[in-house]
């Protein structure tokens, strides 16, 4: 379960159970000691929790114990997921969030009566989510119970809560009819876009559905005038306006052009690493901040590339920084990331993240990003530039010289093709082609072998890597590092 959702659970023991399940599902093998360190409770409590989980999931999962600890396995994944969802069926805060989303607002007194809580207990539960809302620049009010703040930030919160979070009994999903409505209305008009987007289908439908529901309740978006005027002249934006009549007919609400402009802007600001012409056009049409080009150039220079070598990457960086700045100017929380993504980057790419965060801090005067979400932008930049490097890494020619058991050799070949075949040109040399001249061909970038005699039998001028007869995890990691 996502950290965002965990913060809306009122029962501390249930929070702990989901923390345990998050860890157990990820690691698969675990000990009581590791779970104790994770939750900071006694081993007795952990053992009690494990016994409860064994009993509760007896029809869908196994928690088997052995000398090295426990092993976890879903025996029926579908039932397991459903049973997990049902653990949250009585959580009050999830229901209250749903009521707020649909505009069904009630006072503390009314909610306490409805859920059979004392007013003080319910008030205490609501207060615990204030820090979560603050992360989205939102506030909690109690008469009636509601979330207040910038409308764009509110929509971002609802999308993260329902789309980015795990499916639970209280999860709201766009009706299937909305999907059919879009496909029917825009049939024959989609696909040939001037400015592409990296958004996924479900993400788009959540954005659209949230906009419809919020507008239906009288909650309107407010876009900066300069951006609004650019969007109204966009060919791709006009596609969305074709939905006006169909949405009015089905949902009973006629949204304004500004609402569709917001949907369009949120969608295209999810930039893909796509044909560069789309990024050049996006930057040409929407750039209202001349300093973006300067920021991109400074970043490229810090990476040790001159302006000529980094020209293509700079175009993508222009697009990245522009999308973040548009989000920042529309609703700063649009740049917010889920905490799991931030944790992943800080755990696996800490040095790159620190470099990017420092870079943004040092150059903050160029674009003046919202300080509340500067860390999120640094994490996004780390992910983005890592993808950009992979996209522009030149294809290498890698020769594999494999010996030993026939099935092991086949297995190494299959794994190599899975790990490297999409990015590099792999050659598995047949017997008749194995010559010194062939191995030292100038176009070969790397030779990988699990047979030491080849290192001594052939004088290799090409870079090579000797791995174990049966490669282990470290061998594959060395291969990936060499292939970079």
Neighbours of 153 (CB within 10 A): 22
Q: Is 163 in contact with 174 (CB distance < 8 Å)?
A: no
Closest CA to 124 of 139, 108, 100: 108
Residue that has been written with the tokens 């659970």 in this structure: 9
- Tell me the three-class secondary structure of 71-119, residue by residue: EEEECCHHHHHHHHHHCCCCCHHHHHHHHHHCCCCCCHHHHHHHHCCCH
Q: First-to-last CA distance in the chain?
A: 34
Question: For 272, what's the count of Cα atoms within 13 Å in the CB-facing half-sphere?
Answer: 12
Q: What is the pLDDT of residue 365?
A: 96
Q: Is 288 in contact with 318 (CB distance < 8 Å)?
A: no
CATH 1.10.10.1470 for the 3-86 domain, yes or no:
yes
Q: What is the pLDDT of residue 78?
A: 92
The Cα 45–Cα 393 span in angstroms is: 50
The Cα 255–Cα 226 span in angstroms is: 20
pTM: 0.83
Residue 189 phi, psi dihedral angles, 5° rounding: -110, -15
Q: For residue 339, what are its two tokens?
A: 């905490």
User: In the chain, what are the domain boundaries?
Assistant: 3-86, 92-149, 176-268, 276-392, 397-483
Neighbours of 253 (CB within 10 A): 13
The Cα 482–Cα 261 span in angstroms is: 46
Q: Which residues contact 207 (CB under 8 A, 6 or more apart)?
A: 155, 159, 199, 263, 266, 267
* Low pLDDT (below 50) residues in the chain: none
Residue 426 CA: distances (Å) to CA of 122, 172, 414, 442, 444:
62, 47, 11, 15, 10
Q: What is the pLDDT of residue 447?
A: 86
Q: Quick one: which H or E segment has residue 65?
A: strand 61-66
Residue 205 CA: distances (Å) to CA of 163, 179, 182, 201:
10, 7, 9, 6
Question: For 340, what's the count of Cα atoms within 13 Å in the CB-facing half-sphere?
Answer: 14
Q: What is the pLDDT of residue 265?
A: 96
The Cα 335–Cα 156 span in angstroms is: 9
Q: What is the pLDDT of residue 433?
A: 64
Strand, coil or helix: what is 452?
Answer: coil
- What's the CATH architecture for 397-483? 3-Layer(aba) Sandwich (3.40)
Q: Which residues contact 123 (CB under 8 A, 6 or more apart)?
A: 108, 142
Strand, coil or helix: what is 207?
Answer: helix
Q: For residue 74, what are its two tokens?
A: 């879903």
The Cα 476–Cα 468 span in angstroms is: 10
Residue 257 CA: distances (Å) to CA of 56, 150, 228, 313:
51, 19, 9, 34
Neighbours of 479 (CB within 10 A): 21
Q: Quick one: 240 exposed, middle or buried, by C-beta within 10 A (0-12, 13-18, 19+)? A: buried
């Amino acid at each position: 379960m996502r950290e965002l959702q965990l913060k809306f659970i009122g029962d501390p023991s249930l929070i702990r159970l989901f923390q345990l399940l998050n860890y157990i599902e990820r690691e698969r093998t675990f000990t009581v000691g590791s779970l104790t360190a994770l939750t900071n409770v006694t081993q007795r409590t952990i053992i009690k929790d494990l016994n409860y989980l064994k009993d509760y999931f007896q029809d869908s999962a196994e928690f088997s114990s052995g000398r090295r600890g426990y092993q976890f396995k879903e025996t029926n994944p579908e039932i397991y997921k459903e049973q997990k969802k049902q653990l949250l069926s009585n959580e009050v805060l999830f229901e209250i969030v749903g009521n707020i989303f649909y505009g069904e607002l009630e006072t503390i007194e009314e909610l306490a009566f409805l859920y059979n809580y004392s007013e003080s207990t319910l008030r205490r539960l609501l207060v615990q989510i204030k820090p979560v809302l603050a992360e989205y620049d939102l506030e909690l009010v109690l008469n009636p119970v509601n979330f207040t703040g910038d409308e764009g930030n509110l929509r971002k919160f609802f999308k993260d809560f329902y789309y980015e979070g795990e499916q639970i009994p209280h999860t709201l999903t766009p009706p299937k009819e909305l999907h059919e409505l879009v496909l029917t209305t825009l049939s024959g008009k989609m696909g040939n876009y001037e400015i592409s987007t990296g958004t996924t289908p479900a993400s788009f439908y959540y954005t659209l559905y949230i906009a419809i529901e919020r507008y239906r309740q009288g909650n309107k978006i407010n876009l900066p005038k300069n951006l609004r005027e650019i969007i109204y002249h966009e060919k791709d934006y006009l596609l969305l306006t074709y939905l006006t009549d169909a949405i009015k007919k089905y949902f009973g609400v006629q949204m304004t052009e500004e609402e569709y402009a917001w949907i369009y802007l949120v969608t295209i600001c999810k930039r893909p690493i796509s044909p560069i012409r789309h990024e050049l056009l996006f930057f040409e049409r929407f750039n209202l901040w001349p300093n973006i080009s300067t920021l991109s150039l400074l970043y490229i220079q810090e990476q040790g590339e001159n302006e000529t070598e980094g020209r293509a990457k700079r175009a993508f960086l222009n697009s990245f920084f522009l999308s973040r700045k548009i989000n920042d100017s529309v609703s700063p929380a649009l740049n917010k990331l889920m905490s799991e993504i931030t944790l992943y980057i800080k755990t696996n790419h800490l040095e790159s993240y620190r470099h990017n965060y420092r870079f943004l801090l040092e150059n903050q005067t160029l674009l003046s990003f919202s300080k509340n979400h500067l860390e999120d932008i640094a994490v996004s930049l780390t992910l983005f530039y890592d993808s950009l490097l992979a996209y522009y890494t030149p294809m290498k020619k890698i020769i594999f010289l494999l010996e030993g058991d026939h099935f092991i050799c086949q297995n190494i070949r299959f794994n190599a093709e899975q790990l490297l075949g999409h990015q590099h040109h792999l050659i598995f040399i047949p017997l008749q082609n194995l010559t010194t001249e062939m191995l030292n061909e100038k176009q070969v970038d790397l030779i990988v072998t699990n047979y030491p005699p080849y290192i001594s039998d052939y004088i290799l001028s090409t870079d090579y890597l000797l791995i174990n007869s049966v490669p282990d995890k470290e061998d594959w990691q060395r291969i990936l590092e060499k292939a970079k």
